[in-house]
Each structure stands twice: as structure tokens, then as C-alpha cells.
Amino acid sequence: MAYAVNVAENAEVFEVYNTEVYDQAPIDPQQVQALLKAELNHRMQTILNQLLIREADNQLPVERYERRAGRIGYRNGYYRRGLTTTFGQFDLQVPRARTGTLQFKTFEAYQRRWHEVDRIMLEAYIGGMSCRASGQRLGRLLGCSYSGTTVAKLGRMLEEQLRRFKFAALEDAYEAIIVDGMYVRIKQCGGKKRPVIAVVGVKSDGTIDLLGLKVCYSENSTEVEGLLRSIRDRGVRGTKLKVVTIDGDKGLEAAVYAVYGNVRIQDCVFHRINRLHHNAVSKKNGRRMMQESSKAFKETNPLNQRKALKLFADKWRPIEPTAIKCFEYRLERCFEVNALAPHLRSKASTTNLCEGLFSQVRYRINQIGAFDNPIAVEKFVFAVICQKKWINVPGKISDSPLLNVFTHNS
């Protein structure tokens, strides 16, 4: 055994230590993690099996090898079944009885996975991963494998929640409604793009609710009018409704007036500002006009806001006449939001609430290219919205998971 001596100058004490301690190879972190995972899995499986035995003892109710009167039944060995949890996959020994069936709280009948495992797979799919990638990557983490079909079946289970939302009763307490849409490519429609329309309501206290969701064949007034009529029939009569915000589409405008004839139309401020850059001859000037007009719209006082916008238009009219002409066309419709309370104006002045819901859908489209059918689009958008904390979904229990039932297909 080798030793080293550390001698300090003018020192009366010598330090002697074992050099083998310092010559050892460094510990591999991956090996430590593998050992810890194996030990945890072994202990977890032992705990689950003990819980099953204890539940069987309580139902019979006698312990193993105990003989006494009053027992309900007799044990009949075990049968093996797999159970996937967030801790990994386990091979359990489930007690059996000669007569009757034992009921266990550790898992439900025919259950092969914990509900949380299904929820994680579904959220990975909603987050942008394909069905196959969601099952494979989560499977590697849990020590098992899942096919893309398994994840797709989880998505089908959202249909019941979507149907419940479409027929849920609504309160007539909304002061503003926002209607907007985005185009998605659908295979069933020959790969053509179709609009998915979302309707969002804003209450007097600032609460935001999803009121309607539908894939239409176009943004014409007929289909959107049908969606708005269903919202009215479900309870939103419009007695408190003051403003409906749209992006300037004429089809949406006609649909709104057909259902809520006494309401005022608010043009989206963001779209109007963005058109300055689109209509500008010089894109550099377009960016500057967007910045200055945005600053003018931020004026909280309506009178100061109109004055600032007039000064902005007078400044840029000689330089960019076409852009300013389009900007001033029906500009008064951007001021309808001033009829609301100040704390609601920022929410209802643009269609950004709907745009925020569509952002994750756009990311998903970049991953898969197209959805299979309109129902698949509605389910995906609905699932994305249910994950948002700032918007409420009527018909859905607050803070409840997307999946409220267990699945057993593995």
C-alpha cells in the first residue's frame, strides 16, 4: 500500500495519508442512476404487491394460512398482470379468490396504465410531437413501448368533452365577444385549407371564456352565423353585450349583425397597424409607421388617442398616401372599445386572445402538415385551449385533467 508524506517547512508534525483513495477512478453518473432506478423499481414493485395482499386480506377477511369461522372465501393463488406507472413498468402478482372477484384500489378493472401516464402522452402529442414519437419517447423513459395507435386512441377520448362543451349552458354576462379564425390544411378536404373559428367572451370582471369552436368550409356569413346562433341559443342573449371584435372580414361582420343586430363592431387594432407595413411602398417606413401608430393607440384617454392618430396620419400622408388612406378607412370602428370599462379595453381592442389560442396549433401544423378531418382539428384546438390557465371552458370541471377515465389498451 502506497503512502504519501506531506511535510511543511519548519513543521513538527508529519501528515500521512493513503494515496489509493485519490487513485480511484471517478464514479460514472449513469451507472449510479441505473442502480438507483433498479433499486427504486424493486422496492416499488414490492410495495404494490404488499398492498394487493393487504387488500385481499381485508376482503376475505383472514390472513394467509389462518383458519377460523366466518371467513367469506378462500385464496386461489395469484395471476400476473403488468401495470405502467410514472415510476416505471411493474409485473404484479394479483391475489385471486375461489369464489367471487376481489376488488382492488391499487388499480381499476382492466387497467394497464396509470391515468397520469395517459395524460403525459396526450400532452406530449398536443405539444407538437407525433403519435408515434410520443409513445416511443415516453416508453423509453418508463421501460416499455407504446404504438402511435395507442396515443391516437387517447385523442379520441376527447370527443366526449368536446361534445359536452358544445352543448354546455352559457351565462348572459359577457360585455365583449371576440371572433377570429385561422386556416388549417385538412386531408379530408383534398388537402385544402379550411378556417377554424373560435369565439371568446369577456365578462365585466375580466374573466375570459371560450364560447364556441367550429371548423367551417369558409368564413362566409352563413356558417359563422350558425355558430353565433348556437351560442345565443345556449344562453348568450346579448343583453349586456356592447362590442364584438373582428379582424375586418366582411363575412364575419355580416354574421355578427345577423345574430346580434344591436351590437357595435370593433375592428382589430393589431390588424389595422399591421396593414400599414403591408401597404407601405417602403418597408422601412412601414416599420416606423407601425411603431408610431401603436404608440398613438396606447393613449388611454379617447380624446388624446384620436388627436395622436390624426397627427400621425397628417405626418405620413405625403410620404405614404396609399398606406394612410387604407389606415383611415373606417378608422372610427377602432374606437368602439371605449364603450367598455378601462380594464376591459386592452382585452377587446384586438383579436389577440384568439391568436394566442392558435399559436400552438400553427406550431403543430408545421410538424404534421395537415389534419385528417375537421373533428381532428376541433379536438386538437380544444385540447390546447383546455391547457391554458387564463381561459375558462364551459362544461369542463375547473383544474380537471383532459382525460377523466382510465384506459386499458396497451
| For the chain, domain boundaries | 1-8+18-64+71-112, 113-156, 172-386
Q: Is the pLDDT of residue 17 over 60?
A: no
Q: Is the pLDDT of residue 133 over 90?
A: no
Element (H, E) at 245: strand 243-246
Q: Find the mean pLDDT for residues 288-299.
A: 94
At residue 211, φ and ψ (nearest 5 deg) are -100, -35
Percent share of the chain, pLDDT over 70: 86
pLDDT score for 15 = 53
**pTM of the full predicted structure?**
0.74
Of 46-50, 57-61, 80-84, 260-264, the least confident: 57-61
CA distances from 329 to 14, 179, 255, 271, 394 (A): 93, 21, 21, 13, 37
- How buried is 303 (Cβ within 10 angstroms: 0-12 exposed, 13-18 middle, 19+ buried)? exposed
Task: Report the chain's terminal Cα–Cα distance, integer Å.
Answer: 57
Under 8 Å between Cβ of 55 and 106? yes
**CA 281, CA 142: separation in Å to the nearest integer?**
57
Q: Find the mean pLDDT for residues 182-206.
A: 90
Under 8 Å between Cβ of 52 and 41? no
CA distances from 317 to 110, 271, 285, 345 (A): 72, 19, 12, 28
DSSP assigned state of 234: T
Q: Is the pLDDT of residue 145 over 60?
A: yes
CB 55: neighbour CB atoms within 10 A? 17
Higher pLDDT, 13 or 224: 224
3-class DSSP state of 129: coil
Q: Find the mean pLDDT for residues 208-236.
A: 90
Under 8 Å between Cβ of 275 and 289? no
Of 87-96, 110-119, 231-240, the least confident: 110-119
Of 147-151, 183-187, 218-222, 241-245, the least confident: 218-222
pLDDT band at 204 (very low <50, low <70, confident <90, very high): very high
pLDDT score for 89 = 81
pLDDT score for 316 = 95
pLDDT band at 408 (very low <50, low <70, confident <90, very high): very low
pLDDT band at 212 (very low <50, low <70, confident <90, very high): very high
Of 242-246, 300-304, 391-395, the least confident: 391-395
pLDDT score for 24 = 56
Q: Is the pLDDT of residue 100 over 50?
A: yes
- How buried is 17 (Cβ within 10 angstroms: 0-12 exposed, 13-18 middle, 19+ buried)? exposed
User: If we measure between CA atoms, which residue out of 323, 320, 342 comes closest to residue 331?
Assistant: 323
Q: Find the mean pLDDT for residues 338-349.
A: 93
pLDDT score for 120 = 79
CB 192: neighbour CB atoms within 10 A? 12
**CA 375, CA 308: separation in Å to the nearest integer?**
46
Q: Give CA angle at 52 (48, 58), nearest 5°.
A: 140
3-class DSSP state of 84: strand
Q: Is the pLDDT of residue 72 over 90?
A: no
Find all residues with CB under 8 Å of 277, minimum gap 6, and list them. Answer: 283, 286, 287, 289, 290
Q: Give CA angle at 200 (243, 196), nearest 5°.
A: 120
CA 152 and chain centroid, separation: 17
